[in-house]
Amino acid sequence: MSTILITGAGTGFGRESALRLAEKGHAVIAGVEIFPQIFDLQQEAKKRGVNLQVEKLDITNEKDREKAWQWDIDVLVNNAGVAEGGAVADIPEKNLRHQFEVNVFGTILLTQGFAKAMAQKNEGKIIFISSVAGLMTDPFSGPYSASKHALEAFATALHKELKEFGIQVTTINPGPYLTGFNDRMYETWKNWDDQPEKRLFDYDQLAFPHMQLDPEAVYETVVDVVSGKSKLYRNVTPKAMKKQLQALMAAEWEVTQNSGTGKRDNMVQQAYDMKPGTPAKTFILDKLLKSF
């Protein structure tokens, strides 16, 4: 069994994945951003009868990163992340910088220390919880998508750079899952320090423009990638999205500069029409995929 560090384990994918991996018998270090999350996660681990080492680990904090590098781990799961929603023309500088400080700089700086430690041992695995947003972009999620595109580039570079040291690098790319994360992205505008009258869009009327799936498949994918059951470098989940993503990425080569100019984009309209937290049932997965 492996010793695994998973960041951002206080909520969402990270929290449940940490518990699932501990249930499988792995030694799991669950890194959480703030101290109050420690007790809460410890209580949940106790309730489920698993051993879980919970540590305060804010990946944007230099001292926290230095503390983490003292842990001897086999697998690093870079899960910590935030989502700042808003149109590129509207989002304030502070929010834009925060998006990259967490998802890109904090993640890569933490990874650097562990990559060197793993290279000394000639073994290890680094997993990035990326997103389908790292491969495609919706309106109003440009900052988040840009941070994930950057993470994809770093992951690909590390995959090529570290293979000679026996280190495996892989990504997990979840689609739209109902954990609250996507809906919170569309509420970050409420804390903007800007001039509302100068905004191009009415964010009070917008919502995440996709139906969202039950996150069970993501937890299963994390376990499969950690254990080596999945051999793929890029792990899109749900798997059914893979072909649609490939088609979307290929279609971008044919888009013209004036395509749709003067008309509202379909996804913009969908953001106005959708209600927050709209769940998707299994039997309408095909409809969900067609919305991308």
Token pair listed for 148: 């994930």
On the CB side of 83, how many CA atoms lie within 13 Å of its CA? 22
SS3 state at 89:
coil
- pLDDT, tens digit, 9 for 90 and up, residues 72-111: 999 999 999 999 999 999 999 999 999 999 999 999 999 9
User: What b-and-e string marks burial along 207-222, b requiring 16 or more CB atoms within 10 Å of the CB?
Assistant: bbbbbbbebeebbebb
Token pair listed for 129: 């919880």
- What confidence category does residue 1 fall into, taking pLDDT thresholds of 50, 70 and 90? confident
- What confidence category does residue 289 fall into, taking pLDDT thresholds of 50, 70 and 90? low
- Which of 144, 177, 203, 219 is catalytic? The answer is 144
**Spatial separation of the C-alpha atoms in residues 142 and 133, rounded to whole Å:** 9
- Is residue 148 scored above 60 in pLDDT? yes
203 given a catalytic annotation: no
% residues pLDDT > 90 (the chain): 94
Amino acid at residue number 176: P
- pLDDT, tens digit, 9 for 90 and up, residues 12-68: 999 999 999 999 999 999 999 999 999 999 999 999 999 999 999 999 999 999 999
Q: Residue 30: beta bridge partners?
A: 6, 54
- pLDDT, tens digit, 9 for 90 and up, residues 156-215: 999 999 999 999 999 999 999 999 999 999 999 999 999 999 999 999 999 999 999 999
Helices (H) and strands (E) in the chain, counts: 11, 7
Residue 253 burial (10 A CB sphere; 0-12, 13-18, 19+): exposed
